[in-house]
Structure 1
């Protein structure tokens, strides 16, 4: 393939940038996706698209310059009112840059996914009749071939009600974890906080194993296991009815970190949510959250903990520890 010169075809370059922006937006329609796939099937268009995508990814090189040191240094300002204005301006700039950087992995993920959600919960019926309920800010890809049914959970969490078929095993892969159905309904949660994967069984049984070392456990109703660092370990049992309770829009957060609470609520917001600075040593929280009113939930969380909420244009929210 010849070297690509972006300057010789401005129309194609602009089209590629348009599709990158639409894919990153998270609200691209099925009709638009079909148009994108038709456009990118052209070899030249694909080459230009990859070139532009590479430029976007290069933005990661400046990520180290986006640490919140500027906002922290401003806290030393003498006048409280002026300090607050400057801090808000600083976190606005940081959030805007971070939003641009976060769009890059989003594009890559969406190009791999068969289905994804933004701030809503979605139910999908697979070709074999199995049901999937995909939580907000989640994505999966389906690979049904060679006698096996595999779903790759690329992000977030999902609940599966599997149409059992002994001759065609059903597996859910997430990071290095593999959950194999033995006739069941279960949840797989690919956590953002510590890069672990939790599997919880509502009914039936599931074998959870590590893809690399083969270690496995078999779970039945109410049992849980966590994959972390290539190891699978049992967790405390829970009531089967509480598995994937988020499906009805009610989130029960039980003794979770403030960071985890913010990240969970953020799934259901339309705009981006950023945490700046260290909040990991704040006391854990317990709350019942209505996923349909995420901004109210964030406000309630802030009123009961030592965090401030900054609301910026474009639906952006910045969370920082109180001074």
Structure 2
């Protein structure tokens, strides 16, 4: 069998595995196909290319509603996987020249992969970034601005009244008034700020409404309306508990729980079934052992996990 044929087959299997509707017979056929050493090597090569393109596309794509983004991403993947010949060669060359994560590396000063990391900034402020998070630091003579590019972060600010400390994400601004606090962007465009100690002011970049928060208080900035609303208070010692490797999920949808745990895995995690009608789950997750956490979630939420080569996990409903 020619390399071109094997490459086309590998692209077909990647497309099916990421489609969300792969059948059990197809799964069995894939497992038989990937046992071949040559097939496995080609599959891994094409999978790495797919990941690189997907990561670059996420950073360069314009902001659109989530449903529209998902539809466009699926069409883009199918188009890329169906391409061959000159187009495939051009894509490979682009990935080779640009490299995965190009946009993030050009813009971020600190970023994380699948682990939580702590940093000390130039002014002595401590920052902890969750997995798959990134920030850009813009310090001037009279200002200190952190741009949260992706993921969530916790800051213990070295207070300096002559140089205000601000965190900007999307259209929201959180300004320190001597404090430790967490910023948590949500998938639906909301930005949640929770104060561990001290005081912060939450506002929109373009002015207007602002809210002052103290220890244990939370506020959410609505990306669609620009409104800021107070939320229920939380114990201050539970703020950003993920810093210690413990993450509390409280009555969250199963799909969201899977995606949250997947953030800490080094391999790809793909949901290939409809999970939205399953009951919400509550769990304490040890993010230092994400595979164990995913297995525990599967056992409690009626899910079935398929472990594939390349540390890929497919998530389906059981039964």
TM-score by length of 2: 0.71
Residues 1:169 and 2:164 aligned together:
yes
Residues 1:132 and 2:127 aligned together:
yes
The aligned counterpart of 1:123 is 118
Distance in structure 1 (CA, Å) of the matches to 2:234 and 2:254? 22
Query: What SS does the corresponding residue of 1:182 show, helix, strand or coil?
Result: strand
- 1:210-243 deviation per Cα after TM superposition (whole angstroms, max 9, x unaligned): 2235321111110111112222111111000000
Equivalent positions of 1:78-117 (< 5 A) are 82-86=25-29, 96=47, 99-104=51-56, 105=59, 106-117=101-112
- Of 177, 184, 194 in structure 2, the residue corresponding to residue 189 of structure 1 is 184
Change (3 A) 1:307 1:283: same
The aligned counterpart of 1:312 is 308
Query: What SS does the corresponding residue of 1:136 show, helix, strand or coil?
Result: coil
Change (3 A) 1:186 1:71: closer
The aligned counterpart of 1:273 is 269
Q: Give the deviation of 1:256 after TM superposition.
A: 1.3
The aligned counterpart of 1:53 is none
Q: Give the deviation of 1:194 after TM superposition.
A: 1.6
Q: Give the deviation of 1:165 after TM superposition.
A: 0.9
Q: Give the deviation of 1:277 after TM superposition.
A: 4.1
Residues 1:286 and 2:286 aligned together:
no
Query: What SS does the corresponding residue of 1:237 show, helix, strand or coil?
Result: coil
- 1:19-71 deviation per Cα after TM superposition (whole angstroms, max 9, x unaligned): xxxxxxxxxxxxxxxxxxxxxxxxxxxxxxxxxxxxxxxxxxx9xx9587966
Distance in structure 2 (CA, Å) of the matches to 1:121 and 1:69? 27
- Of 214, 227, 230 in structure 2, the residue corresponding to residue 220 of structure 1 is 214
Residues 1:202 and 2:193 aligned together:
no
- Of 233, 237, 246 in structure 2, the residue corresponding to residue 241 of structure 1 is 237
Q: Give the deviation of 1:88 after TM superposition.
A: 6.4
- Of 139, 147, 150 in structure 1, the residue corresponding to residue 145 of structure 2 is 150
Change (3 A) 1:283 1:149: same
Q: Does the CA contact (< 8 Å) of 1:153 and 1:190 recur in 2?
A: no
The aligned counterpart of 1:47 is none
- 1:77-122 deviation per Cα after TM superposition (whole angstroms, max 9, x unaligned): xxx6x354147689x98x9375243231333123210011111111
Query: What SS does the corresponding residue of 1:119 show, helix, strand or coil?
Result: coil
Change (3 A) 1:267 1:295: same
Query: What SS does the corresponding residue of 1:204 show, helix, strand or coil?
Result: strand
Distance in structure 1 (CA, Å) of the matches to 2:150 and 2:124? 22
Distance in structure 1 (CA, Å) of the matches to 2:18 and 2:290? 29
Q: Does the CA contact (< 8 Å) of 1:307 and 1:322 recur in 2?
A: yes
The aligned counterpart of 2:72 is none
Q: Does the CA contact (< 8 Å) of 1:68 and 1:277 recur in 2?
A: no
Q: CA RMSD in A?
A: 2.8
TM-score by length of 1: 0.71
Query: What SS does the corresponding residue of 1:262 show, helix, strand or coil?
Result: helix
Change (3 A) 1:70 1:245: closer
Query: What SS does the corresponding residue of 1:311 show, helix, strand or coil?
Result: strand
Query: What SS does the corresponding residue of 2:178 show, helix, strand or coil?
Result: coil
Aligned residues: 253
- Unaligned regions of 5+ residues in structure 2, if any? 1-10, 34-39, 60-100
